[in-house]
Chains A and B, each alone.
Chain A
Amino acid sequence: MKSYIKHFIQMVSLGLTHTTPYRIGRAWGAFFLFSLLFIACSPSVPDSFVEVDALPAIYPDYINVTVPVNIAPLHFHIDSEAEAADFVTRFTAGAEEWAIEGEDVRPGLKRWQQMKAAALKANGQITIEVFIQQDGQWQRRKPFSITISKDSIDPYISYRLISPSYVTYEDLTINQRCLENFEESLIYGNMINSDEENGQCINCHHAQWYNPNRVQFHVRQYLGGTVIAYDDKLQKINLKTDSTISAGVYPTWHPTKPWIVYSTNSTGQSFHTRDAQKIEVQDTKSNLIFYNLETNEVTPITRDTTDLDCFPFWSPDGKYIYYVSCHWERRDTLQMDFEFIKHYKDVQYNLYRKPFDEKTLTFGPRELMYDAIARNRSVTLPRVSPDGRWLMFTEGQFGVFHIWHSDADLFLMDLTQAEPTEPTLVTRFNTKNLPDEYYAHTKNNVELDHIVDSLNEAQGAQHALPASIRNIQELNSSDVESWHCWSSNGAWVIFSSRRDDGNFTRPFIAHHDGNGHFAHPFELPQDNPQYHRQFMRSYNIPEFLSGPVTIKPQEFATIIKKDATPAQLRISDKAIDGHTAASPKAPK
């Protein structure tokens, strides 16, 4: 009976809050919920109990985390290792106490506000004690605390929800979530413009400096184009030109001007036969382009076919573009995609930047900021903090799409200490150039692969991590960390991690003390604490927003149905550093 009641409450509270048709029955749900709460006795903390010197196992892991003052309630589930009869959780903030019964600990918005207010009046902490009744005996697990930081967080995040699938992409949505409560809504979903014959992929949503009125995302295949909302103007642009690899892919807005730098990519994916990482996403070509929204002009920034430039990010002062690049000279196969598949572990990216002249709209020569390849590593996704001091990036052993690499970790570069450097020439080991003794003692191909990996690892370990860079161990886990974003005040970062189960990406948020150190991260709170355990989709590219995107999905759908406006190609004669610069045309 208890489980039915619990289930009913779960159904009503979770389902009703999110599904529009369910909202029709919301009032009924609230009525029943109220009735149930009214009938239920208010829980009390047991008088006698045994102290257990172990922290409770809770999901999500909210033990000793620091959270922003305006965050939604941190609901969690108590994972009891044995059959437990009852659970009571006591929250204490200052002199006030609250007790909540059950294995799903859900204080709710109102009580959570009270807790936060009481904590802020006292030492800023909410202390949590979990009491578990087993075999008629109450146990108290070691208490833990949640620290309420006075640093607030941007109220919204946007993200794409996608099943970690491979080729198919039905039911693909770009959503926004209010971090102050549990409200989630759709920005755009692909099914509104898809049918059996015509599928649509949507990706790479990005806002200009957290502004929900200036956003862009791409639509691929059916009705493809780049949708750009800029204040009151909503348009669909075709960024593909005859002289560029593709339409725009990974975007970065200029902090203030209507300019966007994109990478253009020829991307493919292949599948691991044994490795649990399952997929390898690779570019066989990639360059950078500059798009001027005012003039609707695309200008190539880099066009070298042996350099794969990707993931640009504009520094907050607008003076630099940070990006990653892999130098690849064709080796031994006819087709580039086969070559990349064959040598996928050798595809590694370094971190570069290019100065940008706002007056002439030109980019200067590239500067190597971090020679990751020398360390047998590969970096991706540079993101500069709003104060311009810190650059966070993801590092893994190979490749550029680290969301599928379990060794991917977040690293932090102090830009005040970082200096441009020169690349180190490296020759990697492979199964054909090993010293002879290894072939003699190797039993099979699996062993040979391991030897190659360990020799290359040892070779990379000879190069120390530059002093300006550190592994953000307090944020990293044994699984993937990637796709990070700084909050507009620089006090928080949100990043994607697969630490929960290794397969589904979940957003985590961590407090930044301003000096390059972070508090223990916490998972995006959900009303149903076990939501992410049931949810079969991953969060892609969580990005902060200062408010909600107010354009309705149907409005996006209407503009997407229309033909895309083709962008005009503009190629400058002025070549810099072997690359063609952006057009020296001043903005209006």
Chain B
Amino acid sequence: MRQANRKDKKYIDKKEQYPQIQPTSLPHGRDRRLGILYFFVVFAVLVFFGIRLVLLESETLLRAQELNLWLPTGLYWKTIMQYPGGAASWLSTYLTQYFYYPWLGVTILCGLWLAICGLLAWVYRLRGPWTMLTLLVPLALLASIVQTGYWIYYMKLQGHFFVPTIGVLYATLCLVIQRLLNSYLPKKVARYAQYGWMVLVCVIGYPFFGAWALGATGLLALSPKPKYWPLGISVLLIAAVPQIYYQQVFEMTERSFIYVAALPSFRYGNGSYEVYRIPYYAILATFLILVAINVCECFSFAKQMKSWHRSLIAIILVATAIFGVNRAWYHDSNFQKELAMNRAIEELDWERVLTIARDGSSDIKPTRQMVMYKNLALFRLGRAGSEMFFYPEGAVQQNAPWKVRMTQIGGKLIYYHYGKENFCYRWCMEDGVEFGWKAEFLKFMARTSILNQEWTVARKYLDLLKKTTFHRRWAERYEKYLATPDAFNLEKLEASVKAGQPLLDDKGMKEFAPILHMMTYPDRLDGDNTLVEMYLLQTFAKGNGDDPLFQEMTLICSLIMKDIDLFWPRFMKFANMHPTIHMPLHYQEAAYLYGHLENKVDISKMPFDQNVRDTYDRFMAFNDQCGPMSEEQKAIAFYPQFGNTFYYFYFLVRNQKTN
């Protein structure tokens, strides 16, 4: 009996010492079962969005991992930790690598989100329908990813796809530990432990997680419910800790950035794009909602709420969040096509580039970047002269609120394949400095260095790539070329091909040989003023080469520039260099047109195809019929019949503003 009393007393003492854990929902078994069901709903929604992410955004995710770099070196860690929040970026760049297989990266992402949901449900003691509210956090995180669009090229925060998830996970784990402290320590000790924990989370966490550590500190003060002292301490910590770190530790961070470290800035040039910050405000708001639910459940009105009331509120909030995600989701067919074409070019699948260029599923005209990809593919297939104007022309600006430059998106790839290796290298270096080093840049720098016969520096970039998780195989493939320096001397390469023993393997021949042909021009000092297309057109059109491939490019560019004086000598030279081939259609059209426009060159003895003559005659006749029409009206009227001719391009395609 005495023993029993002691036990009872111990039980009572324990109850007094430990804080009461308030159930926030009805503790019935039925609701527990429902809770599991609701968590299954959470799981199902995440799986749904995960699948959607893979299906809709695979190209974006693939490019995101190319525009990412994680290295297992002390130097990389040192570099990234120069700024507050470096560890969040370090972890995020590590995880971003897994988008190499989009399904794998998305699985990791969804797994982390599910873990966050589960932990938040436990931390905030959410049961029953409230469990669904944990979805608000991953939905806000999802919105932060799917809104990205052209920011993937411009974001300076390394690993930006994963940083919010890592930040939220950090805050959640801090809350978990706090709840454990509250649960297992005596009440008085727990209170001081909470203060100590809050200080640790902020002081130790700030250099590693930046603003996310400040957010976690604030959430700790609000959990399990807001109290004056913890709130006061957290405000003090949030205000003071970044300042102290600024004064004593971080020597490379601007003072105004210290409170937003490890958050994306969404500023570029002179513009600040607030709308992209909404998902980040939403993350904060969802936490406040969870705190509010937790607090409200203590009041009698909440206890009187029926389960369906809670379900309704939860469903409304989740539905609103889903609506928000869909609103934030960046949909732009040109963006997706640019990504797909870029990948096809990287895989040297030129026909796929043309298939994407032909895709008429959208009414939107192409960007200049897409037109350049298409022209490159046709040039590589040797069909530019006969098909160049068979594809839609356009100069639609990239769908972004700032001026997107080709140098930042696909210009490097274009320069690389047109033999402007120094300019490709240059923009990799510029953008590497501006936006941080990416695997994509290192790949270009390695390849341009190989083509420039700078073997040691090529090895440097390949060695760095070999340290990455997924680009090692790529680097090893290109590393083999370092052993065959003669292969990058065009004369020796061609001699080896003639002898039947090519110095390059099939892939190497397919990739490098045409580029080596394009590099047969004398060195001079120059600059592109960030206008890739204009620079290429100007330099090739005015170039004068003896290499057949290079020479044809000079002809193509004089054609696109509609420069009659430049066209004729290049046309004649092309004809002399290729006496046995049938003159491609567009070259004939241009010669026939220019011959009629100016009588500087006698075209009467040139063997034009009959359809070239007929089309020209029909074009002129139709023009007479459409006499009073404006140029814009003519462009529409002529397109069905003549849209695939040089005549149409010459007269009716104007103002193709390049970027």
Contact = CB atoms under 8 A, between A and B. Distances in A.
A166 B430 contact: yes
Given A14-B78, A15-B81, A533 B463 contact: yes
B77 interface: yes
Interface string B81-113: 110101000000000000000000000000000
A80 interface: no
A365 to B, nearest CB: 35
Interface string B223-245: 00000000000000000000000
Contact of B546 (A165, A274, A341, A443): A443
B81 A278 contact: no
Contacts of B421: 274
B207 A189 contact: no
A533 B426 contact: no
Given A13-B74, A533-B463, A22 B81 contact: yes
B501 interface: no
B576 interface: no
Contacts of B641: none
Interface stretch (B24-32, B288-296, B519-527): B519-527
Interface string A179-205: 000000010010111111100000000
Contacts of A186: 251-252
Contacts of A10: 73-74
Given A165-B429, A344-B525, A195 B257 contact: yes
Contacts of A534: 71, 73, 75-76, 460, 463-464
A168 interface: yes
Contacts of B464: 534
Contact of A273 (B257, B456, B524, B546): B524
A24 B525 contact: no
A213 interface: no
Interface stretch (A307-315, A353-361, A500-508): A500-508
Given A15-B78, A195-B257, A554-B251, A272 B525 contact: yes
A18 B71 CA distance: 17
B632 interface: no
B432 interface: yes
Contacts of A407: none
A449 B429 contact: no
A163 B432 contact: yes
Contacts of B81: 15, 19, 21-22
A401 to B, nearest CB: 13
A50 interface: no
Contacts of B254: 191-195
Contact of B457 (A13, A15, A192, A501): A501
A165 B433 contact: yes
A102 interface: no
B623 interface: no
A271 interface: yes
Interface stretch (A152-160, A169-177, A370-378): A169-177
Contacts of A553: 251-252
Contacts of A554: 246-247, 251
Interface residues of A, number: 64
B399 interface: no
Given A165-B430, A271-B426, A444 B546 contact: yes
A155 to B, nearest CB: 21
B452 A276 contact: yes
B72 interface: yes
Contacts of A166: 426, 429-430
A164 interface: yes
Given A19-B81, A443-B546, A273 B249 contact: no
A273 B526 contact: yes
Interface string A1-26: 00000010011111100111110100
Nearest to B257: A195
A189 B524 CA distance: 34
B82 A19 contact: yes
Interface in B533-571: 539, 544-546
Given A271-B527, A273-B523, A449-B523, A533 B77 contact: no
Nearest to A172: B433
A274 B422 contact: yes
Centre residue among B84, B204, B252, B270 by max chain A CB count within 10 A: B252
A168 B428 CA distance: 11
Place the interface of chain B in its size category.
Answer: 35 or more
A197 B207 CA distance: 25
A516 B379 CA distance: 59
A280 interface: yes
A168 B434 contact: yes
A553 B249 CA distance: 10
Contacts of B525: 270-273, 280, 341-342, 344
A275 B525 CA distance: 9
B457 A503 contact: yes
B252 A191 contact: yes
A278 B449 CA distance: 11
Contact of B204 (A22, A24, A193, A501): A24
A7 B527 CA distance: 42
A272 B426 CA distance: 10
A131 B86 CA distance: 40
Contacts of B463: 533-534
B33 interface: no
Given A163-B432, A164-B429, A554-B246, A19 B522 contact: no
A502 B454 contact: yes
Interface in B494-536: 519-528
A24 B207 contact: yes
A438 to B, nearest CB: 15
Nearest to B206: A21
A375 B245 CA distance: 57
Given A14-B74, A191-B252, A504 B422 contact: no
A192 B253 contact: yes
Contacts of B246: 554
Centre residue among B77, B421, B432, B526 by max chain A CB count within 10 A: B77
Interface string A247-291: 000000000000000000000001111111010100000000000
Contact of B429 (A22, A163, A196, A272): A163
Nearest to B464: A534
A41 interface: no
Interface stretch (B261-269, B346-354, B476-484, B608-616): B261-269
Contacts of B425: 278
Interface in B346-399: none
B280 interface: no
Given A168-B434, A270-B527, A197 B249 contact: no
A306 interface: no
B422 A445 contact: no
A445 B522 contact: yes
B256 interface: yes
B454 A503 contact: yes
B124 interface: no
B422 A272 contact: yes
B85 to A, nearest CB: 10
A265 B425 CA distance: 28
The 3 closest A-B pairs by CB, nearest first: A14-B74, A21-B207, A274-B523
Interface of A: 7, 10-15, 18-22, 24, 163-171, 173, 186, 189, 191-197, 270-276, 278, 280, 341-342, 344, 443-446, 448-449, 500-504, 528, 531, 533-536, 552-554
Interface of B: 71-78, 81-82, 84, 86, 204, 207-208, 246-247, 249-257, 265, 267-270, 272, 420-423, 425-426, 429-434, 437, 452-454, 456-457, 459-460, 463-464, 519-528, 539, 544-546
11 contacts: A15-B77, A15-B78, A20-B251, A21-B86, A168-B430, A273-B539, A274-B422, A278-B422, A280-B525, A344-B525, A535-B75
Given A271-B527, A273-B420, A534-B460, 11 more contacts: A21-B208, A186-B252, A192-B251, A195-B267, A197-B269, A276-B452, A278-B425, A444-B546, A449-B522, A502-B456, A503-B457
